[in-house]
Structure 1
Amino acid sequence: MRTRPVEPAVESAQAEDFRSLMSGFPTGVVVVTTFDLEGGPRGLTCSSLSSVALDPPTLLVCVREGSPTLRAVEQRGSFAVNLLHDGGRPVAERFASGVPDRFEGVLWRTGPAAAGPHLPDHARTVADCKVTAIKPVGDHSVVFGEVLEVTAYRDAAAPLMYGLRRYAVWPTAAVD
């Protein structure tokens, strides 16, 4: 049985309809971090993370145009992805807010291989990445990063999730 191609819509969906659609797709929560050119930490909460390739190990994050964190990622050419655990909601909310110093009161670490600040109290795992491409799409940019190093902090902890416009925790009882 063959199907006929669907004619594309003439206009894009309304923003609120699109938000509603995507809110029904639960996803993990990460904090993307980097350093600005003066060495100051930058970061933001992100739920747009996807794996791209295994060889070389590549992921992507989507960041709002005009974000100071995006500007620092572009300038530095590197970033870290902090995958938050079930206790990371306060940090997710802080880094999603407009507070000027999101790192105030949040423990962060760096090291020779760190592409951005690590949040060891709130991250299950951190991926340090070098930027391989940035593609502007609408009001966001898709940032591709080759994963150079992975650091586990609390990888046995349940991941923090976001969907239906609220935070949740991955169920502890998983079915194989």
Structure 2
Amino acid sequence: MPAFTPDDFRATLGQFATGVTIVTAIDAHGHKIGLTANSFNSVSLSPPLVLWSLSKQSSSMPGLLAAPAYAINVLAGDQRLLAERFARKGIDRFDGVAWRPGLSGAPLIDGAVASFECHPRSTHDEGDHLIFVGEVTHCQRRVGAVPLLFHGGRFFTDLPL
């Protein structure tokens, strides 16, 4: 057994600064799915692969598992309210949100720093999360845009050196 509590582990993980993303998809019934995630990471350049993970308890899990494609939208520094909105439960997360369909049909959030449209490649069941590996079919970026960062339970837009 670990010599630390789940709260200690979570707080320690929070010391690793990450970007903030919104993962989006269209489910088999044509409904939009979207959620905030900071578990995004690159896997491979050839083929172009990325990964992210989702709690097995997430209500979005069935729709994402059945979606033919999804997009990972890397948020800009001025999109903190979107990160908070897509982390909430029990609301229409897309209400009033500007987006457009990507080449795959998955929603692309307007103003994002970058987006990665993915074809689901594999999933891996680990602990209390499912890891999604996607093959990137299209990507785009806004050169010079400032990303939204998350560290220690707080949002940042820039960490000065």
TM-score interval (norm. to shorter): over 0.9
Task: Give how far 1:115 is off.
Answer: 4.8
Match of 2:66 among 58, 75, 94: 75
Q: Distance in 1 between matches of 2:4 and 2:68?
A: 33
Q: Distance in 1 between matches of 2:61 and 2:52?
A: 10
Task: Give how far 1:106 is off.
Answer: 0.4
Q: Which moved more, 1:141-150 or 1:162-171?
A: 162-171
**TM value normalised by structure 2:** 0.93
Q: Unpaired segments of 5 or more residues in structure 2?
A: none
Paired position in structure 2 for 1:56: 47
Task: Give how far 1:13 is off.
Answer: 3.8
Match of 2:157 among 164, 169, 174: 169
Match of 1:84 among 53, 70, 75: 75
1:139 and 2:102 aligned: no
In the TM superposition, structure 1's runs of 4+ consecutive aligned residues that sit over 6 Å from their partners are: none
Task: Give how far 1:87 is off.
Answer: 0.7
Match of 1:117 among 107, 110, 114: 107
1:41 and 2:29 aligned: no
Change (3 A) 1:13 1:132: farther
**1:16-71 superposed Cα distances (whole Å, 9 cap, x missing partner):** 01111111111000000011111111010000011111110101001111323332
Q: Give secondary structure in 1 for the equivalent of 2:101.
A: coil
**1:118-146 superposed Cα distances (whole Å, 9 cap, x missing partner):** 0013x111100011111111211100001
Task: Give how far 1:147 is off.
Answer: 0.5
Q: Give secondary structure in 2 for the equivalent of 1:25.
A: coil
Q: Distance in 2 between matches of 1:13 and 1:74?
A: 33
Paired position in structure 1 for 2:13: 22
Q: Distance in 2 between matches of 1:157 and 1:42?
A: 25
Task: Give how far 1:151 is off.
Answer: 2.3
Question: Would you say the 8 A contact 1:34–1:43 is kept in 2?
Answer: yes
Count, aligned residues = 161
Q: Unpaired segments of 5 or more residues in structure 1?
A: 1-9
**TM value normalised by structure 1:** 0.85
Structure label with greater radius of gyration:
1
RMSD: 1.6
Q: Which moved more, 1:49-58 or 1:69-78?
A: 69-78
